[in-house]
Structure 1
Amino acid sequence: MTPQSPITVLVCAGAPKPDLDSLKNIYQSSDQAYLIGVDYGCLSILKTGLKLNYAVGDFDSVSPEECLQIQAASDRFEQLIPEKDNTDTEMALYHIKKLIEEGYEIEAIYLLGCLGPGGRLDHTIANLWMAFHPDFKDLFEQIIFLERACQVQVFQPGNYRLTDRLDSDYLSIIALTPIKDWIIEGAKYNLSQSEWTYPRALISNEFVNPKDIVTLSFSQGLVVVLWIREQAQAKD
């Protein structure tokens, strides 16, 4: 693959039930897609019949035979030592930064298998907390966490128009930090200009109608938005 048209990056981490249907749909609808497997997530991608552009991890969650299978199906394979300062998923994001340095234009970044279901809670928190890492600040403008029951996106200060991208039951908007000038309009429950000196979770909001636009704005802080489909969670 050469840096010509913009690429869509799909990263699959090691949670047990990644949304492989969405992964395949995005891959097939993209002009250029780049597949990154993280540890056990490599095997998840291989189950779809697709090959890996990049495989990374310490691979402590796969057998030696599976590790050889992953290596054979990858354009680039990087095995890390278990004793390291960065997580396997963070190393995948560093690889994306290298792609940008090499001249690739990134259209979107989807992270699957990072937030569950069925995965370790500490992994979920660590993956979400990558949004605070100064090295990944610019990347997070393009990152969407994608799971079968929800989509999650982190926002820096600004003004945003949120659409119901998941046919969701709930829209939860959570300040991960103290926040200033926080406004939510167009939702079932609106918020006039507010300020909190501590992180605040406004959960279980809703789109009044599926085609409505919910506006979100704030001048300081870090906000995570979750589009949640309850029936899909129940099936999981």
Structure 2
Amino acid sequence: MKLAIVAGGPDVLVPDLHAPEYSDYEWIGADHGTIVLLRQQIKPMIAFGDFDSLSDEEREEVNGQRLLLRSYSPEKDKTDLELALDWALSRKPEHCLIFGATGGRMDHTLASVQLLMRAVSQSVDVAIVDKKNKITLLTPGTYPIKSNSSYRYLSFLALTEKVMGLTLSGLKYPLQDAVLPLGSSRCISNEAEKDSFTVSFSKGCLLMMQCRD
């Protein structure tokens, strides 16, 4: 099973959800992301949130679709996206994508990135995607990755105190057994030089960001 969540970030950063690479995903709405899905002619399997960001007209649109809704009070301990992700992870999907999680309020964006830690702890492959970026959280291991010409730039950031033994091969700026500390910009704006590249490290959590420009 592959699941995709659409959250309430700016619509302009949400790609065409009918693109071939998303054809085998089932969809979940998180608050305003439910409207984004409906306006792309996609009916989500379930939607979560307090729906406080919807206008009266949009609420009528959602209610008219007879969707499976999990409604919550605006005064709650989790964001709408976290509620949706918790449910998605409970389904043990093969992959999970998150759209609509970037480009709006910075607090929500940073919280969304940190939610990737939740997925990693449950051994589920999750990525945050918008029109310009794909963000993936990696745990220790070796990752052979096929280069994608749509994403020219590659950046890596530590999400833990340190990432140990970081080795990058097949990239313009290779590394060998390096230490990447939290807060370092050393691995910003790399580029693939071959059809594939390899990322490996022995300790920590590493954000890999594939960027269009």
Name the TM-score, length of structure 1 as normaliser.
Answer: 0.82
Q: 2:4 aligned with 1:13, yes or no?
A: no
Change in 2 beyond 3 A, CA 1:108/1:171: same
Change in 2 beyond 3 A, CA 1:26/1:71: farther
Does structure 2 retain, via aligned residues, the 8 Å contact 1:182–1:192? Answer: yes
Q: Deviations over 1:186-228 (max 9, x none)?
A: 100011111245443311000114x2x2111111111011111
Does structure 2 retain, via aligned residues, the 8 Å contact 1:184–1:214? Answer: yes
- The residue that corresponds to 1:189 in the other structure is 173
Equivalent residue for 1:81, pick from 67, 73, 76: 73
Aligned alpha-carbon RMSD (Å): 1.9
- The residue that corresponds to 2:23 in the other structure is 29
Equivalent residue for 1:125, pick from 110, 122, 147: 110
Q: 2:148 aligned with 1:154, yes or no?
A: no
* Pairs aligned (count): 210
- The residue that corresponds to 2:58 in the other structure is 66
Does structure 2 retain, via aligned residues, the 8 Å contact 1:151–1:166? Answer: no
Equivalent residue for 1:217, pick from 185, 197, 200: 200
The code of the aligned residue for 1:34 comes to: E
Equivalent residue for 2:99, pick from 99, 112, 116: 112
Structure 2's unaligned 5+ residue stretches are none
- The residue that corresponds to 1:205 in the other structure is 190
Does structure 1 retain, via aligned residues, the 8 Å contact 2:8–2:100? Answer: yes
Q: Could you tell me how far apart the structure 2 residues matched to 1:216 and 1:194 are?
A: 12
Does structure 1 retain, via aligned residues, the 8 Å contact 2:116–2:126? Answer: no
Change in 2 beyond 3 A, CA 1:150/1:28: closer
Q: 2:90 aligned with 1:98, yes or no?
A: yes
Runs of 4+ in 1 over 6 A off after TM superposition: none
Q: Could you tell me how far apart the structure 2 residues matched to 1:92 and 1:74 are?
A: 18
Structure 1's unaligned 5+ residue stretches are 1-6, 101-105, 231-236
- The residue that corresponds to 2:40 in the other structure is 48
Does structure 2 retain, via aligned residues, the 8 Å contact 1:180–1:221? Answer: yes
Q: Deviations over 1:31-62 (max 9, x none)?
A: xx321111111111011111111111111111
Q: Deviations over 1:147-186 (max 9, x none)?
A: 1011111101111112223522211111112111111111
